[in-house]
Structures are given as C-alpha cells and as structure tokens.
Amino acid sequence: MMKIKNILGVLLLGAVASFGAEPPPNIVLIFADDLGYGDVGCNGATLVQTPNIDKLAKEGRRFTDAHSSSAVCTPSRYGLLTGEYPMRAGLWGPCPPTSKLLIDTDKLTIAKLLKNKGYETSCFGKWHLGFGTQEADYTKPLRPGPQELGFDYYFGVPVVNSAPPYVYVENDRVVGMTSDDPIVYLGKNAGENATPITPLTEAHGNRVPNWFGGAVEAHKLYNDFELGTTLAARATQWISERKAKPFFLYLATTNIHHPITPAPRFQGTSQCGLYGDFIHELDWMVGEIVKTLEEQGVADNTLIIFTSDNGGMFNHNGQEAFKHGHRQNGDLLGFKFGIWEGGHRVPFIARWPGGIEAGTTSDQLICNVDMLATFAALTGQSLGKEQQADSVNVLPALLGEPDVPLRDHLVLSPRKASHISIRKGKWMYIPAKSSGGFTGGPGKHGAGGPACVSFVGNVNSDIVNGKIKKNAPRDQLYDLEADVNQTRNVVKQHPEVVQEMQALLERYKAQLASDSKSQRK
C-alpha cells in the first residue's frame, strides 16, 4: 500500500507540473491567530467542537509535526509570506501600530509568485506587517502595503484586534474616514481624547486603549463582536465574484487572539467559556469558506490549507478555559512566544479533493516558510536560491507519502533571540535555559514559562515547583520521537548530537551577523 501511495504521489506531481488541459488549483490559505495544537477536535479537543475544521482533516491530510517559523505573530507572518526565516530580517516581536512595512517590496512573496502565474490574489484580516517606508500614516494612502507585495485586494485589520487603530483598511485607505474628520495619531497617552471604541469587560481579555482620535464614523464601523463575521462575509463575497482566473485567498483571522469577542450567536456554545466560543466562531468561518467554494462549483479544484501563526497563549481567557479542562496546546510543553513545542507546533490541514488523499495524516516535519517553495512547485515555477531562502518544497508530503524526510532541519524562533533553536530529525536543541517567551505566573496576562508549565501539570526535568532548577543544564536537548512533550532534557547524555546542533546553529548565527553587517553599509 505504501508503494502504491508513493507512486500515486509521483503521478500527481507530474500532473501538477504539466497541468495539461486542467486549470491550476485555486488556493485558500486560512491563517488563524493564536490557535494552539490542541484547540481543534481532530487534534484531540473535547470541550470545543470544530466540525468544519475536522471535516477538512477527514477529507484531506492532517500534519502532526507542522510548525510556525516563529512563536510570535508578526515574525510568523513575515515567514509565511516570504519563505524566509524572520530572524534574517531581525524580527522577534509584534510590530507597533505605526510600523513601516517590514517586507522589502523587491522580495518575492507567495502572492507575487501566484500573481506571476495568472492568479487573482486577495488578503483578508489581520495584517500586522506595517505600512509605508518610514512609518504608517493612516491619514494618507497606506503605501507600500499589501498591494506592493502582490495582493490585488486587501480588506482587514491593520495591526491586531488588541491594538489600535481600531478601524478597517481597504486596499490602502481607512474605511469610513472622511476628509473633514481624519484619523489623528495621539500616542499612548491619548486618554479621553481618543475616539471611543467597542465597550468590553475584563472577561474579554486584554486590549490596548485607543491611541487615535478623529475618524469617528470609521471607528463606529469597527465592532469587536463583528470582526469574525465581517471578515467571513468579505472573503466569501470575493470568492463568489471570481469567474475565470484561478485565485488565491489569504484569510488571516483575528480569532482567537485576545480580546476574545465572539459574535452573540456563538457565546455560550462551548464547554470552556468565551475562549471556546471564539474557536466555534473560527470553525464557522471555515465552514462559510468551504460552502462558498462548493456553491461556486470550485471546491474540488481548490487547495485549502488551514493552520495557525503560533501556539496558544495562556492569557486570562486561556487560563479560564483550562479551569474547565481545556488544554489549548494539548499535552505539549509551553505556550505562545516560547521555544518549547507548545509555542510553535501548530494545527496544519491540507484539503484538495483533486490531489490529496482523504483521511490521511503525515508526520513530515514542515513549516509555514515552506509555502513559497510548495506553491512554486504546485504552479510549475522554479525559484532561484536567494528567492527560495529557507523554504522547502513539501508538495510531495501533501500529495503522497515520501519515504524520506523532505526537510533536513528547521530553525525556530521565540520572542527572545537568545533562544533561537534548531530542530533536526528527532532532535530539538535549545541553546539556553527555559523557553525564551512569557514568564508571568498564573493570573497574569503574559503568563508562561516554568511557572505555568507546573501549573497546568506538565513535567520537565529542568523544572521543579514552577522554577528552573539551580543545577539545570545551560541548554536543552529533546528526543521528540520518544518524548514529544519534552519531559526529559537529555543534553548531557548526547554530547555528539549537541555538538552537531551547535555547529549548525552557529552557521546560521554567522549568516545573520554577515547579513546585518551588509545592511549597515
């Protein structure tokens, strides 16, 4: 059976390369926000119900060893769009509301790649990669931005649902802003001078106050409890208007990032509070996309990829869900921002009735930076070495069952540069203690690290009573094949592996130093 499946994969790859009389597949890439590995039913969740996401897995392929290139939102998006490790661009944390565009407009992106092949391209939802050449000025056209990176159309949230400005942007303009009432940047201390935004309670989770005044009508159009339904309506409308050309839709949801604000129809529908309700809204959004593809008669020739920008965050809402018995990252160690598996191992499902065998799983090591090379292969395009950067073509893992790993190794980044780490085969090497992410204890918004590892009942040989042991090794090595939950640091038992991983990591650090020096000249 294995050989038959591999032969099938090879034949499919050949068909994709030539296309023959068949049009290339449409591509829908759904990039959820802060959705942990254990937040979906097909990965073991029981207190939330995700029938639409689970159906994608039933009709497609679920990957169990898929990762985000970073455990942080902005860097992860950079990696997804460019196929390049975000550390190469010096990206480690979320960018602020006034950030310039963080992707060089000369750089190849997945949108440009597909546009070169005749695709119509669109982006909906959370951008969080900045606008402009110096800083974002929301009173002017927000150029360069998504359109300079290959998207024909953009509609969404310019930063994130927890940070200002709380408005929508369509293409390069703030939606609803008028010349007689422009948006005004006031800064962090705007206070009462800021334009009012949707009233929320502590139960909804952390949100930064508005830093902007003016644009009253534009702010009124933005309602936290309507974000998911608005983005779903816009995205499905765009699909329904596509007729002749193949299309690429990138939907970067605000679900399930804090504040947790599901529409009223979803509130109270899960068994773990608002956190689960927000997942239910996300699942509904997935269902709306699939339903629209079916109504348009293009579902069988559309590749849908569903994944997340990083692992789940143990914020107030995540902690509340845990009290009900929900484990957002399953039994994996750690949370968003950190380098342990819970920070970057994410759900990843691919469905394409015309090419992917239904109801299958893959344990191939893959990463979101791999989409560039994979989409190039899917559309019969070749990439130069510099264009491909860190991206690996994992199309054989989507269409078949390769006998060998497609990736030799993977570089992974947390919030702190000190914890940039290497995955190679079954080994995960971390060159420092702890996770390099959040360190707050239970009850804090920025909860994570050793304190929360112990709180949720995870075990790690370097941790006792929520603290790193005084005699803990200075670095970490885990055999993920035998110990995916990272209970035992075996760095002392395998010095030869450590030496190999350190050398590989040093090679990347030397490249970073060289790139940084070149940029300063």
The string of pLDDT tens digits covering residues 109-132 is: 999 999 999 999 999 999 999 999
Other Cβ atoms closer than 10 A to 4: 9
* Count of residues making up the chain: 521
With left for phi above 0 and alpha for psi between -120 and 50, is residue 242 left, alpha or beta?
beta
**Mean pLDDT value across the chain:** 94
Q: How confident is the model at residue 388 (pLDDT cuts 50, 70, 90)?
A: confident
Q: How confident is the model at residue 519 (pLDDT cuts 50, 70, 90)?
A: low
Three-class DSSP category at 501: helix
Q: Of 416, 310, 338, which is closest to residue 93 (Cα–Cα)? A: 416
Which pLDDT score is estimated for 290?
Answer: 98
Which pLDDT score is estimated for 518?
Answer: 55
**pLDDT surpassing 80 at residue 344:** yes
What is the average pLDDT across 438-462?
97
Which pLDDT score is estimated for 234?
Answer: 98
CB 371 within 8 A of CB 395: no
For 6-20, write each residue's pLDDT tens digit. Answer: 434 444 444 454 444
Which pLDDT score is estimated for 515?
Answer: 66
Q: Is 397 exposed, middle or buried (0-12, 13-18, 19+ CB in 10 A)?
A: buried
Q: Is 464 exposed, middle or buried (0-12, 13-18, 19+ CB in 10 A)?
A: middle
Three-class DSSP category at 159: coil
For 187-246, write each residue's pLDDT tens digit. Answer: 999 999 999 999 999 999 999 999 999 999 999 999 999 999 999 999 999 999 998 899
- What is the CA angle 389-390-393, rounded to 5? 105
What is the average pLDDT across 371-394?
94
- Please tell me the pTM assigned to this model: 0.95
What is the average pLDDT across 302-306?
98
- 58 Cβ partners below 8 Å, 6+ apart? 42, 358, 359
Phi/psi of residue 42, nearest 5 degrees: -70, -15
CB 450 within 8 A of CB 463: yes
Phi/psi of residue 19, nearest 5 degrees: 65, -30
Q: Is 7 exposed, middle or buried (0-12, 13-18, 19+ CB in 10 A)?
A: exposed
For the chain, percent of residues with pLDDT exceeding 90: 91
Which pLDDT score is estimated for 513?
Answer: 66
If you count DSSP H runs as helices and E runs as strands, how many of each does the chain have, helices first?
A: 14, 20
**pLDDT surpassing 60 at residue 483:** yes
Q: Of 162, 337, 166, 159, which is closest to residue 261 (Cα–Cα)? A: 162
- 182 Cβ partners below 8 Å, 6+ apart? 139, 214, 215
Residue 157 pairs in a beta bridge with 126
